[in-house]
Chains A and B, each alone.
Chain A
Amino acid sequence: MLELIDQLNSKLRSKTVNGVVGFFEDEYSLLEAAEKTYAAGFRKFDTISPFPIHGMDDAMGLKRSVVPWFTFIAGSIGCAFGVWLQWWTSAVSWPINVGGKPMFSLPAFIPVIFELTILFGALTSVAGMLWLCGLPKVDPPVIDPDLTCHKFALFIPENDDGFNEQKAADHLRSLKAKDVRKTEF
């Protein structure tokens, strides 16, 4: 049992990466900084903010999220499952005549098919989002506790294209970032 907890713990503990972080005044300067960092050739950098920032995906050169595909595929599976479940239980496993309706009475089956489509789609999308984000994580390093409150930061990891600590730090300072420092994230 303890071993299992240890295994789970080591799995969910995030693999951290070192890099350089710089802090920005507000969301607008962070957005501008992200644009310039992308233009400077960095590709694996990330911005940290207390709320999602309009236009940041484009500034960072991110493609559209694939979460809707999870919804579509799981929703289709839920729909098919709903049809199969009701067909098999009502027309194959134990057919019972209810009010003279056909054994496979599709119009009456639509509400349950619909609910299962939504249920499968919603739950799988949530699972997909968590998977794409690498969540849940146990105790990931937090650069600054105020980043979920009122601070904004840009982090360039050391495994980024052409990373050089001095170069990255200089780049952030040239963007008027404050408190530029080396950190683990």
Chain B
Amino acid sequence: MIKREILIEGNKTYKDITDEICAPVETLPPKGWFYYFIPAKLGLLFYLSVVATILGVGMGLMGVNHPVGWGTDIVTFVFWVGIGHAGTLISAILFLFRQKWRTGINRTAEAMTIFAVMTAGIFPLIHTGRPWLAYWLLPYPNQRGPLWVNFRSPLLWDVFAVSTYLTVSLVFWYIGMVPDIATLRDRAKNKIRKLVYGALSLGWRGTNRNWQHYESLYLILAGLSTPLVLSVHSIVSFDFAISGLPGWHTTIFPPYFVAGAIFSGFAMVVTLMILIRIGMPQMKDYVTINHLEVMNKIIMATGLMVGYAYASEFFIAWYSGVEYEKYAFINRAFGPYWWSYWIMAGCNVIIPQIFWFRNMRRSIPVMFVVSIFVNIGMWFERFVITVTSLHRDFLPANWGMFNFTFYDFGVIIGSFGMFFTLFLLFLRVLPMVAMSEVKPVLNVGRGEDHHA
């Protein structure tokens, strides 16, 4: 019989797990945390000033203009929403498939989802130019008729999809954390900690009569999140696919976008996990090389799916016989934006092929570099889809270029500051590994399986 691999290394006891995972929350954070936090915080401050300037002066500061009416904001929105998908995949889909290795990383991945979706949500609001009127997106009774939103528009579906996704992910994450917050409450030495974690723990005590309902709910939320996560990026892809523009109007978009989302999200999880392993070395026992290897396999598999989608788009453009469609794709690869297309193809299709080799999949420096390239490539994928399709449509009278400005760079760089600040604060105040999920899988692979 093939032996199961150990999921948590270091031959720990339940008490060790609690002590190690609570330590970053209960003591001053290690030096590594500050090395990350200070640049992240500066990035956030930079972001705030850039966004404030854009809102104060106007959208004219950014590159969008005729004919490229969708620019950095939409590209970066899709980028961040896509990153969010890996967290739900790990927490919900791998849970349904009973993949026990997920327990070491699911909490951080879910946190990544929430912060990525929060970061993403700001971009469409900036893009509207008048975010103080953002509530117009919701169908609320008003004194203008009442004038309702257009439910036939994919942009409106997006409002519902992204807000539902954020709400359900947040609830899923929080409910998963309640038993661990109760642990923090029971360990708390001072009054304020006891009060805060006591309130957040909702008075959880870990009785089996509560665990029974809790586990049932967890399964239900996993079951609901799975179709939800697939629907979110499908709907994001409808924003493009439902229009009549060559390069956007393709039926392959929903699965292609979902595969790309999982691809970029897993790359971001790998990036974050490596940073955590470097900054907080005690986490190496929970986020093991085996876990990272499995994620690298998923990166390679989804990278191949994305590559297949790129090829199939070209085939369909040729097979359709529509000259505009054909031109859109030839223009993508060989037109004025050829460099963005080849950055995308190189980073997303060619570079991940290195993971065919086992020692590359298990090498921390290699996977770190690959994960960064994948993230760059996936940002460019959205750039290619959005900008190269818009910049030359049916009539040469409508041709033009997208003029990237300082403010476009500013919101991209700044959004990373926001994301990392939120993520680092999470590592500081909440348990970063799901203790109540790690403990039951502690014996896996230790050869003392009582259920055998």
A50:B183 contact, CB within 8 angstroms: yes
Q: Which residues of A contact B154 (CB under 8 A)?
A: 111
Complex formed: what's the CA distance from A150 to B18 in Å? 8
B202:A135 contact, CB within 8 angstroms: yes
- The chain B residue sitting closest to A12, CB to CB, is B203
B216 at the binding interface (Cβ < 8 Å): yes
B203:A119 contact, CB within 8 angstroms: no
Q: A90-B151, A148-B186 are in contact. Are A136 and B205 (CB under 8 A)?
A: no
Interface residue ranges of B109-141 to A (CB < 8 Å) = 139
A133:B210 contact, CB within 8 angstroms: yes
> Closest CB of chain B to A151's CB: distance in Å?
9
Q: A56-B211, A118-B228 are in contact. Are A90 and B148 (CB under 8 A)?
A: yes
B160:A115 contact, CB within 8 angstroms: yes
Complex formed: what's the CA distance from A94 to B147 in Å? 7
A126:B217 contact, CB within 8 angstroms: yes
Q: Which residues of B contact A165 (CB under 8 A)?
A: none
B353 at the binding interface (Cβ < 8 Å): no
Q: Which residues of A contact B436 (CB under 8 A)?
A: 50-52
- The chain A residue sitting closest to B440, CB to CB, is A51
B277 at the binding interface (Cβ < 8 Å): no
- The chain B residue sitting closest to A126, CB to CB, is B171
B305 at the binding interface (Cβ < 8 Å): no
- The chain B residue sitting closest to A55, CB to CB, is B451
B151:A51 contact, CB within 8 angstroms: no
Q: A51-B179, A116-B160, A149-B183 are in contact. Are A136 and B203 (CB under 8 A)?
A: yes
The 8 Å CB contact of B168, one of A93, A105, A119, is A119
Q: Which residues of A contact B224 (CB under 8 A)?
A: 71, 118, 121-122, 125
Main secondary structure of the interface of A (DSSP, over half): helix
A122:B207 contact, CB within 8 angstroms: no
B212:A125 contact, CB within 8 angstroms: no
Q: Which residues of A contact B238 (CB under 8 A)?
A: 111
A129 at the binding interface (Cβ < 8 Å): yes
B167:A123 contact, CB within 8 angstroms: yes
The 8 Å CB contact of A65, one of B157, B203, B204, B212, is B212
> Closest CB of chain A to B138's CB: distance in Å?
11
Complex formed: what's the CA distance from A108 to B150 in Å? 10
Interface residue ranges of B399-452 to A (CB < 8 Å) = 435-437, 439-440, 450-451
Q: A109-B151, A150-B13 are in contact. Are A49 and B228 (CB under 8 A)?
A: no
Chain A residues within 8 Å of B, Cβ to Cβ: 12, 14, 27-28, 34, 46-54, 56-57, 60, 62, 64-65, 67-68, 71, 85-86, 89-90, 93-94, 96, 98-99, 101, 105, 108-109, 111-112, 114-116, 118-119, 121-123, 125-126, 128-130, 132-133, 135-140, 142, 145-150, 155
24 contacts between A and B (CB under 8 A): A28-B450, A48-B208, A50-B14, A51-B211, A51-B437, A51-B440, A56-B208, A62-B208, A67-B213, A89-B148, A93-B146, A96-B150, A118-B164, A118-B227, A122-B167, A122-B172, A122-B221, A125-B224, A136-B203, A139-B203, A145-B187, A148-B204, A148-B205, A155-B207
